[in-house]
Chains A and B, each alone.
Chain A
Amino acid sequence: MDPLVAAASVLAAALAVGLAAIGPGIGQGNASGQAVEGIARQPEAEGKIRGTLLLTLAFMESLTIYGLVISLVLLFANPFAG
Chain B
Amino acid sequence: MAFIKQKTQQSINEDERSAPRDFDGLCLELNHDDAQVRRWAIRDLATYTQASSTLAARLKIEDNSSVRTAILDALAKFSDDISVSALVDCLRSDEASLRNEAIEVLKSEPEQVAPIIENLLNDSDSDVRIFAVNILESLQHQNVEKWLISVINNDSHINVCATAVDLLSEVGTENAVNALENLKCRFADEPYICFTVDLALQRIRQGDH
- Do A and B make up one complex? no
> Footprint of A on B, CB under 8 Å?
none
